[in-house]
Structure 1
Amino acid sequence: MNRRHFLQGAAALGGAGLLTGLYTWQVEPFWLEFVQVPMPIKHLPDALVGKTLMQISDTHVGNRFDRQYLIESFEKAQQLAPDFVVYTGDFVNYESEEQFAQLREVYAHAVRGKLGTLGVLGNHDYGLNWQEPEVAQRVAGILEEKGISILRNEQQNLAGLNFVGLDDFWGTNFAPHQVMSDLQKEQANVVLCHNPDVADEPVWNGYQSWILSGHTHGGQCKPPFLRAPMLPVRNKRYTAGTFALDDGRTLYINRALGHLWQVRFNVRPEITVFRLERG
C-alpha cells in the first residue's frame, strides 16, 4: 500500500470512528424504544386480559444526565395510557441531597397507571456504597408523594393482580422471606426486583410467574453478535430481555430508560409494555 492510499484509509477510519463516537454519545442514549411483550400469567382474572403493564427502570436522576429527556420520555409513555405502571429501581444516581430536588422535578411528570402504580428501590437509591438507609427512605417518601407506592418486601393487590416488591439485593433492607413465605400461589402474581441476580437466590418458595428487573442497562454497549463486556451481575447470562428459568419462572430484564454515563451502543434505552394474557 502506498502512502496516499494509506492516508486515505486512515482518514476514512478516523471519520468512521468519529461518527460512531458521536452516535454512541449523542444519538443512541436518547433513542427510546417502546418494547412490546406478551405476558401470560396463571390465574389472571378475565377482566385483566388485554390490559397493559408498563415497566420503567433505572432513570438515574442526577447530575450526569439530561433530565429533560426523562420528562419527555414520561410524556411519550403517558400517551399509551397504561393500565398498570411499575418502576424497578435506581430512581436516582445519588451524590448529594441535590438529587432529592431533582427527583421531585422529574417525577412531577411520572407515568401512572389507570389501575395502579408501584415501584421498588435499586442499589443507587441507597446512597453512597448502597449503605445509607436514610437516603432510601427519603427517595421512597418523594416517590410516594408523586403517586408511586414503593414496595419494600411487601405485596399489594391491584384489581386482581398481586404485585410483590423485593427491596434491593445490595441495599440494607433485602428481606425477601418476609413476603415470599406467605405468597398465595393460586392468585395472579408479578414480582418486582431490581437486581436479576436475585432470581438465583433460594428465596422463591415454589413461585411460578414473572420477575421484572432492571439494573444491567443491557450492558449499555454491546458489540454486534458478542456478549456485553460489562455487566454488574454475577450471572453474566442476565443481560436484557426475557429469560425462561427452569422452574416455571420467567425473568424480564429492562434495558433502562436512563444511564450512569451518557454512552450507549447497540443497546437502546427502553420502556417495556406488557400485554396481559391468561397463562
Structure 2
Amino acid sequence: MTKKYSRRVFLKGLLSIGIGSLLTTSLGYAYARYIEPRQLQVTTKNMTFANLPKGFDGVKILQFSDIHLGLTYDLSMLSRLVDKINALDPDIVLFTGDLMDIPNQYPYTKLIPPILKRIQAPLGKFAIYGNHDHGGYGTDIYRKAIEDSGFQLLRNETVKVSLIDQSFITISGLDDIMLGQPDYQKTFGTLGKDNFSLAMVHEPDVAKKVAAYNVDLQLSGHTHGGQIQIPFYGPLYTPPYGRKYEEGTFEIGPSKMALYVNRGLGTTRLPFRFLAKPEITLFVLHH
C-alpha cells in the first residue's frame, strides 16, 4: 500500500509541476486567465422520472452557479449570461449559490438586481446560499441582492411549483453546509415518494444524506470542476465537501437519486480555468 500511495503522490507531483509550467508560459497563462474563463458551455441533460407529472413533460429547468463576482467575473459578463439564459427559454431557473466572491468587499451590489431581474422564467426563479454568500459577512447582503433580483431564496425550505391542472413538483433548498445551518429533516422530511422532488444543495458531497429522503434530483455547484484540471488525472484541487463528486452526473444510494454537479461560471482564489470551462446546465424533464 505504501509503495502504491508513494507512486501516486509522485505522479501527482510531476503532473502538478507540468501544469504549473504550462500556466507560466505566456500562451498557457493567456489561455487559462483570459480565454477559457469566457468560454461558456451549455450542457443539456434529458432526464426521465416515473413520478414526474405528465403536465411537466418537456419542462426546462436551467441551473447556473458560482459566479463569484469580483475576481474575474464582472457585471458585463453577468449581463451577457442573462441574455444567454433567456435565449434558452427555460421554464424554471435555479441558482445554486456563490454570487459574490467576498460580499462585504464587492462595491457594486446595487447593480446586480437590475441585471438578474431580466431573467425570464414563467414557473419561477429560486436560489440558495453558498459558502461565499454567508462568508465575508454576506448573509444579509446576498439575501437582499438575490431577492431584489426576483428570486425566491430557499433556506431549509420546500416550495411547490404548480400548473393550471393542479399537478406540481417540489423544489427544496438546503442552507449551506460549510457556513450555514442546514436542517435536512426540516427541508426534506415531508417529501412524498410519489411526488417529483428536486433539491438544491450547494456542496455535492452530502448527496448520500439527501438521498436518504424522497429526493429524485439533487443539483449542486461549489467545485468549479476543480477550475484547473490535469489531463488523464482530473481536478488538481477541489474544496471541502466537493471531493467525492467533482462534476457531472451521478447515481446516489439505493434510491438511485440523480446528482448533477455544475462547474459554475466564475473563479475563486486563482483567476484561472484550465480544462474546466464555465457551464450552465439545461435540464429537460420527461415523464
Which residue type is aligned with residue 18 of structure 1? Answer: S
Corresponding residue for 2:239? Answer: 232
CA distance in 2, matches of 1:72, 1:250: 30
Corresponding residue for 1:198? Answer: 206
> TM-score of the superposition, structure 1-length normalised?
0.86
Match of 2:73 among 54, 61, 65: 65
- Superposed CA deviations along residues 110-139 of structure 1, whole A, max 9, x for unmatched, are 2231211101110000123xxx4xx31331
Corresponding residue for 2:252? Answer: 245
- Superposed CA deviations along residues 42-75 of structure 1, whole A, max 9, x for unmatched, are 3211111111100010111225533311221111
Match of 2:145 among 142, 145, 149: 142
Corresponding residue for 1:118? Answer: 126
Residue 209 (structure 1) aligned with residue 209 (structure 2): no
For 2:145, what is the secondary structure of its paired residue?
helix
CA distance in 1, matches of 2:74, 2:64: 17
Which residue type is aligned with residue 154 of structure 1? Answer: E
Corresponding residue for 2:48? Answer: 40
Query: 1:81 deviation in Å?
Result: 1.4
- Superposed CA deviations along residues 197-222 of structure 1, whole A, max 9, x for unmatched, are 22133x54442411000000000111
CA distance in 1, matches of 2:69, 2:284: 28
Taking only aligned residues, the RMSD between alpha carbons, in angstroms, comes to: 2.1
After TM superposition, the structure 1 stretch with the greater mean CA deviation from structure 2, 31-40 or 232-241, is 232-241
- Superposed CA deviations along residues 69-126 of structure 1, whole A, max 9, x for unmatched, are 1221111111111101000001111252x53x52432342222312111011100001
CA distance in 1, matches of 2:22, 2:154: 50
CA distance in 1, matches of 2:59, 2:132: 31
Query: 1:36 deviation in Å?
Result: 0.5
Q: Is the CA contact 2:224–2:262 (under 8 Å) kept in the aligned structure 1?
A: yes
Match of 1:177 among 160, 180, 185: 185
Runs in 1 of length 4+ with deviation above 4 angstroms? 13-16
CA distance in 2, matches of 1:80, 1:68: 19
For 2:139, what is the secondary structure of its paired residue?
helix
Which residue type is aligned with residue 243 of structure 1? Answer: F
Query: 1:235 deviation in Å?
Result: 5.9
Q: Is the CA contact 1:41–1:189 (under 8 Å) kept in the aligned structure 2?
A: no
For 1:142, what is the secondary structure of its paired residue?
helix
> TM-score of the superposition, structure 2-length normalised?
0.83
Corresponding residue for 1:271? Answer: 280
CA distance in 2, matches of 1:15, 1:234: 27
CA distance in 2, matches of 1:216, 1:142: 23
Which residue type is aligned with residue 252 of structure 1? Answer: Y
Q: CA, structure 1 residues 238+20, in 2 after alignment: closer, same or farther (shift >3 Å)?
A: same
CA distance in 1, matches of 2:181, 2:23: 49
Q: Is the CA contact 2:156–2:187 (under 8 Å) kept in the aligned structure 1?
A: yes
Identity, % of aligned pairs? 31
Match of 1:218 among 212, 220, 225: 225
Which residue type is aligned with residue 157 of structure 2? Answer: E
Corresponding residue for 1:153? Answer: 156
Q: Is the CA contact 1:180–1:205 (under 8 Å) kept in the aligned structure 2?
A: no
Residue 77 (structure 1) aligned with residue 77 (structure 2): no
- Segments of 5+ residues of structure 2 without an aligned counterpart are 1-20, 163-167
Q: CA, structure 1 residues 15+150, in 2 after alignment: closer, same or farther (shift >3 Å)?
A: closer
CA distance in 2, matches of 1:63, 1:185: 42
